[in-house]
Structures are given as structure tokens and as C-alpha cells.
Chains A and B, each alone.
Chain A
Amino acid sequence: MKTEDIRRFITDNVSADDFSCLIREIDSHETRFAQNGITQHLAGPKMSITLSLSFGKKSGSSSTNQSDEKSLRELIKTAEDIARLAPEDPEHIPSAKEMKLPKGENLSQATLSLTPETMVDIVQRSIDKARAMDAQVSGMCEKHHFKLCMFTKNGFNGTDEFSSFGHSMTLKKGEVETKVSYDSKDYAGFDLDSLFARLASQAEALREMKSFDAQKIAVILRPAALMELLWYMGWMLNRRQSDEGFTPFTGMLDQQCFGELFNFSSTRTKAEITANSFITGWGMPEGIPAMETTWVENGVLKNMPTSRYWAEKTDAKPSGIFNMYIQGGDTSEEEMMKMVPRGLIINRFWYIRPVDMKRGELTGMTRDGVLYFEDGKVKHAVNNLRFNEIPHEMTQRILALGKEELASASAIIPTALIKDFNFVDKTNF
């Protein structure tokens, strides 16, 4: 069945008091290459239909990836059987109501019309460029077309459609390893020559490596590195978890717990990044409009992601992080290097995990190249390092911000100069 037919069938056949339904469709083409050859190459459509429903305060849900009538009847029956067997949920809330949703502009014709042949050509050219410098390249060239449709008994009606194109490359030449990536809704902005030139330039800068011990030291975090840290911090901003005492942000709403230079929002004003119309829940349907939201303004925590249930309980507005916009500045990397006596330039982080949820402390490693600078100039590369750091406290040590860059399809992030970043260990490469 087509989406509209599925919607009609569900609406006509659910006998429960209330329901929410989310239909997701994805069509993907993914070419994975490693060490100058293609190792995986896959394509195909995926879809899922998730139905959550309730009898009074008793809820159940079910999902399927089959859209024939028999499967949909089974879907409804399974969800209704589960709901009948479930106990009353003291935190039950009715499904989302009819509401005006913001309109997303997330589709790129350039991405949608990209052919497998062109994608393989991008991979071939990436490999040719690597071979020309006697190096090996690994990465992923991928395109996706997403469609979402959510509707409820109470009249919520949302649709979203996205495209995305990504091409990542990790170059290995001798002991040097470094990575660049392009991730955007729009293939039209992709330029392999300039992306590879950046990769080659990063590799060249990393040629001379010296051992470096862990210590507190100033860092220039390039956008990909800063983004990775802040996504993890974003998870800790959950309002309910904070209100109930499990995160560092308990009682911190409207308080200055970030640095004054730090501004973080989910925005609809930046055309380069994806902005949905609505936000779904972890276990699926929620239906929260994706409205412009300032999370942190000049270091003050202004809003926290809040579920519909917790919003109702606390008289707050439901909200969620649907993209990440960190306001930048105008300081170049060269100027940043002159602002501190010495420091490290970090391309990316890797394997970030919480160490202490209550304090908001994370650990992780640097990856894909670390450069040591002194007296305003890059001196040499150094080994990778482990950090244990608290991101919201780290923002209090931001000395300068660089210009904003597209860090992923859903994030605009600047480079940041941060003092006393807490490295605690080193590795042997």
C-alpha cells in the first residue's frame, strides 16, 4: 500500500480509544571502500510502520515493515492485544493534537538525481587521488532519501521529506592517518577536489610526529571535534532527567552554567542544515513541533529538551534538539594560535563515553591527526591522547570562536579555542 492508503486503513480499522502512527521510508545507496578498493556496495528501500495505541490509560505498540492488508491487520491486532494486557500507565498522555507545524525545506534534487554510476566515479576518483600520492584511502559514499508521515487520532498530521549525501575519506600514508568528510542534504555543494586537497593538506601537516604526554593544555577544536563532544552533552540536557536529579543540570535552568561565549540553538534559519517539521520520541511517535529553540544564550541555560509528558507535568513546552547551531566568531586558526603560548589542534574525537553522568564528565580519544603549535605556528604532529572532560565546564574556558562551518547535515559548528583541556593519557600512535 502507498502511504495515504496505509493512513486510511489504520484510521478506519483501529478500535482503540487513541492512537499515533508513524510511517518511515528510506531509499539508500551506499558504497563502502577501503584500502583503495570497494568492500561493500548496497542498495535498497526500507520502511517501517509503528503504531502506538491505548484503551484508557493502557497502552501498546507494534511495528512492521510490511504494508499489505494482512500485515496491517496483524499490526493493529498485536498493538491492541498488548494494550489490553498492559497495566494502566500513570504517565499516560493522549496522542498529539492537530497543530500547525513548521515547514521543512530538506530536499535536494541534486542529491535525489545522483546515480550509482556517479557515486562509483566519486569513489574511483578518490582512490586515484590517493594512489597518486602513494597512499591508501577508505571511506563511504552514500545517498539517502527519507520520508516520514505521522498521524494521530487527535488530529496530528505531519510529513517530512529529506535527502542526504555523504562522502568520507580516511587517508593512510605510512604512519599518517587522517580524515575528512562531507555530509549534507545537498550534493550540489560537494567538491571532491577541494575535499581531497584538504585531506592531503592534513596528511602533509602530520608527517613529522613527536611523542607528547597528556596534560592540561589549550586546544583548537575543529568543528567535527566540537560537534562530537556537544552531541553527547546534548543528551544530558534532558529536562526530566535533570529535574529528577540525575544530570549536572539539575536546578540550572536560567542559570549561567556555560561560558558567556557559548550560544547553542536548534534553528530553522540556516538553510544549509536539515530542520524537520516535527520530532518523534525515542520509542517512536511523539509529535513535537520542531520550533526554533535557544538552548543556551550567552552561557545561560534557557531551555531543555522536554517530552510531552514531562512538559504537561511541569507546565513547560515540549521540545527537542532537531539540529545543532553553535554560534561562531571571526577568529581564524592562525589568530587562535597566537592567543596562547602553546596548544594542540584537534581534528576529531573518537569513542566518547560518559564517565560520570551526574557531573557530566566524558572520556574519549583524539583521532585523525593532532598538531602541536607554539609561538603562533604549527611545529609538528603528536600522538593521540585521551581526555576526561566536562563539556559544559569546558565552554567556560572558550577563549575564541572561529567562523561557522557545515559540520554535518544537521549541525553548523565553529572552530573553538579552549584553554586547559584535560588530557589524561596518551596512546602509541
Chain B
Amino acid sequence: MNYLDLAMDAALSLGAEYADIRIQKTTDQVVSMRNLSLKNADIRIIDGYGIRIFKDGAWGFAHNNVFSKEAVIKAVNRAYEIACLSAKVNKDKKLKLAPERSYIASFKTPLKVDSFDVPLSQKVEMMMDVNSIMMAFDGIAQTNFNLIMHKDEKLFASTLGTRLEINHQFIDPVITATAIHGGDSQSRTFDEGGRAVGWEWIESMDLNEKAKQIAEEALIKVKADALGPEERRTLILDPNHLGLTMHESVGHPTELDRVLGWEADYAGISFATPEKLKNYQYGSKIVNFMGDNTLEGGLATMGFDDDGVPGQKWHIIKDGILNEYGSTRDTAMEIGLNYSRGCNRATYYYDQPINRIPNLYLMPGKEKLSLGQLIADTEDGVYIQGRGSFSIDQHRVNFQFGGDFFWEIKNGKLHRPLKKVLYKSSNPEFWNSCDAICDERFWRPFGVVNCGKGQPSQTARMTHGASPARFRNIRVGGSQ
């Protein structure tokens, strides 16, 4: 049965102005090991379809997991009825959809070895080796290894005539060592945030060596000094850490639905309002952010979004100036754009797609600059690696971040390890304080696989990237 055509024909015959169907099968394999106890080894399958109908300036969305002609038609009817109900409320505030052409296309995440084809026994053996290495260190009280493999197989059809077949997958290994010493407990984590690649990525990393490193660093961290009271200092942030900082302070504020107030009741709104486009000094002149859903290995690189709009690459911040948003077909028209940047994504078949952060990265510095040179050029500061505590206000202005590993810098050298370091800053102070970015040799991508947003809540994934960068005159100190 061709459910795609069935649904689209039924939607058109009801009078839909636009409709689409997304048949989506999501498969997750999650393997979790705590010390040498296998806490979870499972495969989860979520399979069904969601039908969106646009009528009189409003959406209706219905989903089901039953694959039959009757069930599909019932879902189309339900989506249509819901759209009509919504349209009565929207009579003075009709949504509009940005123009889009039709596509017949397919996309498959490029990979050499499908991680779902690798036997569980091989995965478990690797995880036990890693945890055993960490547990052998005196003072390591707990080790955790979580391995997530995720696959989305989607068929998409719209009344524009678009027909898409998309197979997207990613893998995410996260390894943590927790040390206890002198009444304190501190963790160190290896987490690249996931990448849309195959098992070959795991094989290219020496995870046993990473395990040794994070166990050693957890022990260094738990015995390290805490930083004293807050003072203005220089920060050097590594690409992994910056991935989370840019996610919260650039990615979310430049989602157009937030800018429009569509997330006002839950995830919040944005200070980066439309009158600031093309004139607001978001960052210093060396700060350039790209939205790029064509990035190789990117978690949001899937050929097309769930509006059927192709992946694109564009400046979100150009030479420090707010340039453009991440948009969808229904948000773009609200600010007079007649195109979408293809940022509409849903998590599962039963989720209505919403405006999401694209792959978003900080461009490397144009001048040749290594991390060693950057540290050597810093008289007094703190170097932060990895991700820790993070919190930002609902307009995306004020924030406080921790990290995973910290070094104090004195006279151009790593002076002593630290723990419990926090920094506080705000937009636009933070990105305007960026005075140096290492060059492209040091640029690294890092994913985010747990971006929560929306009501009902959804979890999206995207990739960020950066070279190490320096920020001046930031408030840095211990907790409390």
C-alpha cells in the first residue's frame, strides 16, 4: 500500500491547502555499563506516521502507529478537523508558508560500517575494557560508559509533489570516571557529543587511551584547588566547551520561533529581535557563525528538513553582526522572508516539527594561531575543557557555565589544575570579548544530542564546532 499517495490524495480531496506525511521508523540501541555491570542493553523501535494539514492559516497534526488504509485515512481526517478548529482561532492571525519547490530525492548518512551491524558482544567487550582500565586507578569510585546508536528511516511526501527517502544515523559514546577524595567527588567525561557517522569513528578513536586520560584527570581534578572569589579574568575555551556555550547563547536566540515569541510559555523568547538584523554587534569582528545543515558528519545534516526544505549553509553572525536566523516555512513569512532556511525538525513520528538550531559553528580564526601560542600569549587566565553546569535566562541574555576540566594560566603557561570553576557573562558582552580564535588546524566539531524544546517536549540533535578561542574580562570564580 502506498500510504504516501493515499494520505496526500485524501488531504487534497478534503480541501487542504498544504499537507505532508512523514513515515518514520526510529531505532535506538542503547548500551549502558556502570563499572562492570551491564545496566542496559536494548533496542527500541518507534514506528509510525504523522500527517500535517495546513488550512486557512492553521495547522492540524495527527499521528498513528497502525499501518492500514483505514488508519491512515482516519489520521488525515483527524488532522484536517484539528486544522479547521485551529483556523477558527487564527482567523485574525493566519499563518503563512514560505514558498518552496518540490523535490524527488534521497539522503543517506555516509558511513563505512553500520554501527547496528556490529555485534553486541563486540560493543560490550570494548566497554568492559574501557571501564576496567578506569577502575584500575586507585581513587576512581565509579565508571560509566553509555553508547547510543540512533537511526531514523523516513519517507516524506507533500502536496507540493515532494517525495523524499531519508536514512539518518549517528553514534555517541560517553565515558565518565568519578573520583572520590577528601570528602569530595569529581567526574571527568569523554564526550564528543555524537557524530553522524558509522562504527569506523569508534574504531578510529583509541578509547582505551581516552579512558586512561580521563581517569587520571578525574583524580587530578578531585585533588585540585577550587577557585577563590569571582573576579574578572581571561578565559580560553576549548571547542567542546564552546559547543555548549554557542548552543545556548547563539543557537537558541537565533531560532526564529523564539524570536517571534512562539516559545514564550516554555523554552523562552529571544533578545535577538528582528530590528537588530544586519546592525546588532552580537560579537567582536572576528566572530563568524555559520548555520550549516550540509556539514559532513553533522547531526542535523539529513538532506532535507521535515518541511521538505533542503539543507543549506548561511551566515547567522557575520563579522560580529547578527545576520540571519534559523527559520522554517511558517516562521520565515512572519518577518517577511520568502524562503525557509530548512530548520523544521521533529524527533519522532508523533512529533509535530518545530524550529530547531541547525548545525552551527564558529568559524576558525583567519590568522595562524595554535592553542600553544594562545596560552603562551595569555598572562593570567583559566583554560576550560569540556562541558559542565550550564544555565541561561529565558531571553538568552544572562548565563553561567561550568566546565569539565580546568587549568589556571599564569605567565603564558598552564600553572595548576582547578575544580569547581564557574563563569558568568551575558549577551552581547561575552561574544564581543572574544579577541582571538585559533586557526582551522584546531577546529573540531562537537554534537549535542539532547536539546530539549517544545510543548510537548522534543529532543533534537545538531553539531557545533570551533577552534579554541579567548575571551577577555569575564567574571570567573568558584561556586556560590
Contact = CB atoms under 8 A, between A and B. Distances in A.
Interface string B85-122: 11011100101000000000000000000000001110
Contacts of B220: none
Contacts of A350: 268, 393-394
Contact of B184 (A170, A177, A358): A358
B389 A59 contact: no
A44 B264 contact: no
B374 interface: no
Contacts of A365: 391-394, 398
Contacts of B432: none
Given A46-B350, A90-B37, A60 B42 contact: yes
Contacts of A246: 141-142, 178, 180, 185
Nearest to B480: A388
A245 interface: yes
Contacts of A172: 261, 264
Interface in A365-384: 365, 367, 384
Contacts of A428: 397-398, 426
A176 to B, nearest CB: 12
A377 to B, nearest CB: 28
A341 B205 CA distance: 60
Given A34-B261, A138-B262, A350-B268, A90 B389 contact: no
A255 interface: no
Contacts, number: 244
B37 A89 contact: yes
A350 B64 CA distance: 33
B266 A35 contact: no
A120 B58 CA distance: 13
A312 interface: no
B411 interface: no
Interface in A94-123: 116-117, 120, 123
A329 interface: no
A127 interface: yes
B95 A44 contact: no
Contacts of B42: 50, 52, 60-63, 79, 82, 283
B325 interface: no
A425 B426 CA distance: 10
A41 B61 contact: yes
B247 to A, nearest CB: 13
Given A40-B59, A245-B185, A363 B350 contact: no
11 contacts: A43-B62, A48-B44, A82-B41, A139-B265, A140-B455, A170-B264, A283-B40, A357-B185, A364-B391, A425-B400, A428-B398
Closest 5 CB pairs of A and B: A427-B398, A37-B93, A44-B63, A61-B42, A138-B264
Interface of B: 32, 36-48, 50, 58-65, 75, 78, 81-83, 85-86, 88-90, 93, 95, 119-121, 124, 128, 141-142, 178, 180, 183-186, 257, 260-266, 268, 330, 350, 352, 354, 389-395, 397-398, 400, 402, 420, 422, 424, 426, 455-456, 479-480
Given A50-B42, A124-B89, 10 more contacts: A37-B90, A63-B43, A64-B44, A66-B65, A85-B120, A172-B261, A177-B264, A428-B398, A428-B426, A429-B393
